[in-house]
């Protein structure tokens, strides 16, 4: 009786195995756990639990409402990175009250395991986040090359990610919108979500991607378990794949060794003076784009004039009186020049220019894209004729990091300096000592030399000066 009721297994000598009866209630509760035991000839035994997914292949065998099937899939970027924290929705198209949702974890998988069969479903996905994460001037350069036919995309999903104004075309208008987001003029995309999720399809091409992509998956007359209902997630505007997809993804671009220097001339100014800050560089060579933040103290930027870089007001963002963002792209490439561009300013205090302007990555990363391979290099500002009078320790870049990071610092004079890295308990991991020159210097740290992961602190000491910052090493 227990066997017939599905409550026990029955040994079948002919098959040298046991059997179990599953009923409609089991199908409704699928998947179910079954205890499996094996014996050897000496009756030594071991057991395990096996998860069985039950499918009713006899539509008339169970009363209405007891026939269930699962729907599952995977969500990843076009580069194959699993995407976590995606909210996936399933809607029964014949029952408006049947709407379920779940969040993906780091494996990017989702599954709705108990859905009434023989009806229609639609699945959609969404993900929140920072609109500008992973979006930089390098993306503008790449999309511009695609538009001009210099280096066209071969991946249809990159085309979809480029359409940030949602007009089903990739044009210069998308670049205008992107630059405003990068500069901080836009706080969010005006016409698209942070992420778009389209059904994965081998039929999408660069030519048909914007017309044929579907931001949902439809299932008609569900008659069994449906696996492989997969989405591709697109971080809008990010065509070089630097946005973070999950907790294991560092989501950072590759930075090469080396820093390019922008120069301005030291000036002693009086309050109310109108100034021309001419930016030059001796080491620019085939620079196809750059971006950085300027922090001001005693200056207000009033405009910009082009030099060898054809810049205009659309390439700067006046975040407030103390912060200016800059983003510029150039298909031909900017070389060494005595006049790359000029910023017009008014002095609100009297003093030296060297004490009134600082280039950093506080709002957008300070970086330039060099050569045919668009190698990413750092940017720094040098005031010619001025003396750095302040001690400064920079945030390491990149941070977090999983291989190499660079710590920049400024010394007010030539001298010895010691960088100490230690963990949260105060245990010293490493010391780096050296004699450094006045102005900007860098120390490179390798993860394999530190041999730790997690949160660390680093302190730089030079004479009477010292400063401390935090960094993170990840697996």
Question: pLDDT digit string (tens) for 291-314?
Answer: 999 999 999 999 999 999 999 999
Which CATH number applies to 254-386?
2.60.40.680
Among residues 337, 247, 352, 377, which one has the least CA distance to residue 298? Answer: 352
pLDDT at residue 254, rounded to an integer:
47
Q: The CATH number of 64-250 is which of 2.30.42.10, 2.60.40.10, 3.50.50.60, 3.20.20.70?
A: 2.60.40.10
Topology of domain 391-475, per CATH? Immunoglobulin-like (2.60.40)
Higher pLDDT, 349 or 45: 349
Q: Is there a common fold for 254-386 and 391-475?
A: yes
Q: Model's pTM, two decimal places?
A: 0.72
Q: Where are the domains of the chain?
A: 10-52, 64-250, 254-386, 391-475
Rounded Cα–Cα distance for residues 291 and 289 (Å): 7
CA angle (343 as vertex; 337, 347 as ends), nearest 5: 135
Indicate if the pLDDT at residue 81 is higher than 70: yes
Task: Grade residue 15 by pLDDT with cuts at 50, 70 and 90.
Answer: confident
Distance CA 1, CA 325 (A): 78
Contacts of residue 365, Cβ cutoff 8 Å, sequence gap at least 6: 136, 291, 292, 397
How many Å apart are CA 280 and CA 260, to the nearest integer? 11
pLDDT tens column, 406-460: 999 988 888 999 999 999 888 999 999 999 988 788 999 999 889 899 999 999 9
């Amino acid at each position: 009786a227990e066997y017939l009721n599905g409550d026990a297994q029955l040994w079948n000598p002919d098959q040298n195995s046991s059997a179990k009866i599953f009923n409609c209630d089991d199908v409704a509760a699928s998947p179910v756990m079954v205890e499996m035991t094996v014996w050897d000839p000496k009756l030594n035994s071991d057991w395990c639990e096996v998860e069985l997914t039950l499918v009713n292949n006899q539509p008339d065998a169970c009363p209405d409402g007891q026939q269930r099937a699962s729907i599952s899939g995977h969500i990843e970027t076009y580069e194959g990175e699993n995407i976590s924290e995606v909210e996936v929705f399933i809607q029964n198209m014949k029952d408006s009250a049947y709407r379920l949702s779940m969040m993906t974890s780091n494996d990017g998988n989702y599954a709705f395991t108990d859905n009434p069969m023989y009806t229609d479903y639609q699945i959609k996905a969404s993900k929140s986040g920072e609109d500008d994460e992973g979006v930089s001037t390098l993306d503008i350069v790449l999309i511009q090359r695609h538009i001009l036919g210099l280096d066209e995309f071969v991946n249809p999903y990159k085309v979809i990610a480029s359409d940030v104004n949602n007009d089903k075309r990739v044009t210069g208008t998308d670049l205008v919108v992107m630059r405003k987001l990068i500069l901080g003029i836009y706080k969010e995309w005006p016409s698209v979500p942070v992420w778009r999720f389209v059904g994965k399809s081998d039929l999408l091409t660069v030519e048909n991607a914007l017309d044929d992509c579907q931001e949902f998956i439809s299932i008609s007359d569900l008659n069994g378990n449906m696996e492989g209902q997969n989405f591709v997630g697109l971080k809008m505007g990010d065509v070089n794949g630097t946005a973070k997809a999950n907790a294991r993804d560092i989501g950072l671009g590759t930075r090469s060794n080396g820093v390019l220097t922008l120069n301005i001339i030291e000036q002693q100014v009086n309050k109310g003076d109108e100034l021309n800050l001419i930016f030059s560089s001796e080491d620019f060579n085939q620079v196809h784009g750059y971006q950085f933040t300027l922090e001001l103290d005693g200056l207000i930027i009033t405009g910009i004039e082009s030099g060898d870089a054809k810049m205009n007001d659309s390439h700067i963002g006046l975040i407030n009186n103390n912060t200016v963002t800059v983003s510029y792209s150039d298909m031909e490439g900017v070389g060494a020049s005595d006049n790359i561009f000029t910023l017009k300013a008014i002095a609100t205090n009297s003093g030296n220019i060297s004490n009134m302007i600082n280039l950093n990555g506080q709002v957008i990363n300070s970086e330039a894209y060099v050569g045919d391979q668009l190698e990413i290099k750092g940017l720094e500002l040098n005031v010619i004729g001025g003396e750095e009078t302040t001690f400064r320790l920079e945030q390491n870049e990149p941070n977090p990091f999983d291989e190499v990071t660079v710590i920049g610092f400024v010394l007010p004079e030539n001298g010895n300096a010691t960088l100490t890295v230690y963990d949260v308990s105060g245990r010293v991991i490493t010391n780096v000592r050296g004699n450094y020159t006045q102005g900007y210097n860098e120390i490179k740290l390798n993860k394999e030399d530190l041999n730790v992961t997690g949160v660390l602190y680093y302190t730089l000491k030079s004479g009477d000066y010292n400063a401390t910052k935090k960094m993170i090493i990840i697996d």
